[in-house]
């Protein structure tokens, strides 16, 4: 009806009328989107609150625009099935990755394997999710050349289609704690009980306050996942290595505080070791033996196997 009115009232051809109506639709929807976003950002000061509203407005605007343009150019919604049937084969071949990313985005919106602010790792790339769009997920990278789990400052874009063929690790979904281990290698001459007590004391002082809160989070996560831990308190495990006695401290830490917790533990351990002569840390030692041939005499150096000079 609209196109016929344009062609009769303004004297345009059908194609010209379609172009004019399409431009009008784009201008009107863009103006409405800008108006809504402006109102939201003015009335809400917290970016964490207006960010999802802005994203939702963008998605709704795009969907409405697509249907409106299809109605203009295809003719009527009843003809969409025929149109898509003819174009499906070519679109599937030419835009396979694009369609896969869109399907991944739909999966992300419905199943929520990760959300904004979650810490994830996909295909060897780890980081905090800062944006989820139709084609890609954007993360603020951690690890890589930076020690522990701190930010590198780089922004990495991950195609949404990876959720179907790559392993997705979520550090913070449901249960926000992860297990962290602190290895300490001491000499065979050290007293293992004293060393264990020093490490256990540091673990209790730094991470002893987490089990109660962690237990509550486990109960909430158990509603969706079969998660069960018998012991949530810090513990020390002992084993023997070729270089000495290995004591491994194990405790629950917040996924974003691994490095800070590790530093606090080692500060306490080193302070206690400074006043404890019964425990010594071990480290690799290299010895170089030099033999002077001139001092070996005519018989040669028996240790080195060199012939007489």
Give domain status of residue 64, yes or no.
yes
**Same domain assignment for residues 261 and 213:** yes
pTM for the whole thing? 0.62
Q: Please write the tens of the pLDDT for every residue from 127-157.
A: 999 999 888 999 999 988 887 788 899 999 9
Q: Report pLDDT for 309.
A: 46
- With respect to residue 304, please indicate whether it lies within any of the assigned structural domains: no
pLDDT at 195: 95
CATH of the domain at 233: 3.30.70.100
On whether both 86 and 117 belong to a single domain, the answer is no
Domain that holds residue 159: 113-170
Residues 12 and 90 reside in one and the same domain:
yes
- Cα–Cα distance, 260 to 3 (Å, whole number): 65
Q: Is residue 153 located within the same domain as residue 181? A: no
Do 76 and 164 belong to one domain? no
How many domains in the chain?
Answer: 3
CATH value at residue 135: 2.30.30.60
Low-confidence ranges of the chain (pLDDT < 70): 1-16, 44-53, 74-95, 208-212, 214, 221-230, 292-309
Q: 24 lies in a domain?
A: yes
Where does a domain end: 59, 94, 129? 94
**Residue 293: inside a domain:** no
Does one domain contain both 6 and 90? yes
* pLDDT value of residue 129: 94
162 and 195 share one domain? no
HEC string for the chain: CHHHHHHHHCCCCHHHHHHHHHHHHHHHHHHHHHHHHHHHHHHCCCHHHHHHHHHHHHHHHHHHHHHHHHHHHHCCHHHHHHHHHHHHHHHHHHCHHHHHHHHHHHHHHHHCCCCCCCEEEECCEEEEEEEECCCEEEEEEECCCCCCCCEEEEEEEEECCHHHHCCEEECCCCCCEEEEEEEEEECCCCCHHHHHHHHHHHHHHHHCCCHHHHHHHHHHHCCCCCCCCCCCCCEEEEEEECCEEEEEEEEEEECCCHHHHHHHHHHHHHHHHHCCCCCCECCCCCCCCCCCHHHHCCCCCCCCCCCCC
Pair (138, 190) in one structural domain: no
Q: Could you say which of 170, 187, 203 is where a domain stops?
A: 170
Same domain, yes or no, for 188 and 267? yes
């Amino acid at each position: 009806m609209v196109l016929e009115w344009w062609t009769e009232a303004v004297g345009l051809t059908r194609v010209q009328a379609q172009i004019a109506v399409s431009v009008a639709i784009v201008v009107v929807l863009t103006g409405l989107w800008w108006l809504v976003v402006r109102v939201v950002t003015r009335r809400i000061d917290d970016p964490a609150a207006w960010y999802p509203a802005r994203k939702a407005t963008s998605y709704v605007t795009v969907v409405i625009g697509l249907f409106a343009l299809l109605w203009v150019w295809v003719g009527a919604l009843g003809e969409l099935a025929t149109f898509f049937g003819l174009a499906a084969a070519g679109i599937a071949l030419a835009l396979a990755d694009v369609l896969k990313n869109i399907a991944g985005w739909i999966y992300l919106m419905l199943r929520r394997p990760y959300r904004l602010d979650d810490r994830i790792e996909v295909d060897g790339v780890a980081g905090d999710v800062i944006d989820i769009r139709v084609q890609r997920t954007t993360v603020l990278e951690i690890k890589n050349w930076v020690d522990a789990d701190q930010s590198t400052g780089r922004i990495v874009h991950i195609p949404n289609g990876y959720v179907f063929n790559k392993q997705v690790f979520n550090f913070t979904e449901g249960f926000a704690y992860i297990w962290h281990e602190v290895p300490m290698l001491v000499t065979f001459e050290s007293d293992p009980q004293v060393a264990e007590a020093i490490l256990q004391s540091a673990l209790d002082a730094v991470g002893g306050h987490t089990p109660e809160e962690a237990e509550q989070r486990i109960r909430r996560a158990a509603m969706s996942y079969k998660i069960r831990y018998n012991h949530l308190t810090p513990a020390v495990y002992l084993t023997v290595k070729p270089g000495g006695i290995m004591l491994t401290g194990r405790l629950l830490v917040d996924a974003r505080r691994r490095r800070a917790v590790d530093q606090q533990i080692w500060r306490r351990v080193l302070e206690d070791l400074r006043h404890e002569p019964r425990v010594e840390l071990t480290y690799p030692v290299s010895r170089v033996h030099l033999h002077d041939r001139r001092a070996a005499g005519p018989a040669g150096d028996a240790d080195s196997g060199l012939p007489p000079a």
